[in-house]
Amino acid sequence: MRLLLVEDHLTLAQQVGAALKDAHFAVDQATDGEEALFLGETEPYDAVVLDLGLPRLDGLSVLRRWRAAGRLMPVLILTARDAWTEKVAGLNAGADDYLAKPFAMAELVARVQALVRRAHGQARPEIVLGRLTVDIAGGRALLDGAPVRLTGMEFRLLAYLAHHAGQIVSKSELTEHLYAQDFDRDSNTLEVVIGRLRKKLGDGLIETARGQGYRLLAGLG
């Protein structure tokens, strides 16, 4: 899953970005409202963490313009500790959740994971597909109850397919949602990761739809 983090406080942005990457998210970062507006309008993010107090264009204006343009990605806003008016204004502008500063990184990560799950119709932190369980919150996969050792990229790919279980996901969509903007998107990398996943999970779990993409088979027996 690919996120946009919009925060102008560089130290906090580094800390939040590191926590989200540790939770297997690909993270793009913006430090002002104009850059955030552009990225949010042109890139397919699965969620956004948006500070409201931004230079050049405030976060509330950014959010309103995203929603007016039909951009529906889940947005978690960051507000000052006691600024209840900011929280109300943010929610009324189309935010999906809020978190007051200062906050625990674990809570921020959990809230972002919950937003992504709900956006894909998943209420539980685990996606169970027959013999396969993808524990989104825990960042792990289980096959027949036994943990499967996965790299960060392998888990990210498996999690994205699990969120779209039974659906064909194109290579271009996977590339857009798995890699941060500054990543060298070699077209062969995706096929290599798919190949490694198949070896670890067994044949028949990830189906290739020739000329279309890949599909994680739902309800595996």
Domain edge (last residue) among 119, 144, 176: 119
Same domain, 46 and 112: yes
Same domain, 39 and 14: yes
Give the integer Cα–Cα distance in Å for 168 and 149.
25
Same domain, 7 and 114: yes
Residue 95 falls within a domain, yes or no?
yes
Residue 102 falls within a domain, yes or no?
yes
Give the residues across from 141 on adjacent strands: 134, 148
Residue 21 falls within a domain, yes or no?
yes
Question: What's the pLDDT score for residue 133?
Answer: 95
Give the integer Cα–Cα distance in Å for 47 and 27.
10
Give the residues across from 49 on adjacent strands: 5, 76
Residue 14 falls within a domain, yes or no?
yes
- CATH code for the domain in which residue 133 is found: 1.10.10.10
Same domain, 14 and 91: yes
Question: What's the pLDDT score for residue 181?
Answer: 80
Domain edge (last residue) among 101, 119, 137: 119
Burial of 199 (0-12, 13-18, 19+ CB in 10 A): exposed
**Are 2 and 47 a contacting pair, CB within 8 Å?**
no
Question: What's the pLDDT score for residue 184?
Answer: 63
Tally of domains within the chain? 2
**Are 115 and 96 a contacting pair, CB within 8 Å?**
yes
Question: What's the pLDDT score for residue 221?
Answer: 47
Same domain, 97 and 132: no
Domain coverage including residue 85: 2-119
Question: What's the pLDDT score for residue 3?
Answer: 97
Question: Mean pLDDT, consecutive 10-residue segments, the chain of 221 residues?
Answer: 96 97 95 98 97 95 97 94 85 95 95 93 86 92 94 94 93 90 71 93 88 83 47
Residue 78 falls within a domain, yes or no?
yes
Question: What's the pLDDT score for residue 220?
Answer: 56
Residue (of 209, 194, 185, 199) closest to 26 by Cα position: 185
Give the integer Cα–Cα distance in Å for 115 and 121.
10
Residue 221 falls within a domain, yes or no?
no
Residue (of 48, 28, 24, 63) closest to 163 by Cα position: 24
Question: What's the pLDDT score for residue 144?
Answer: 92
CA dist 26 → 19, 68, 81, 159, 160 (Å) = 11, 26, 28, 12, 12
The model's pTM: 0.87
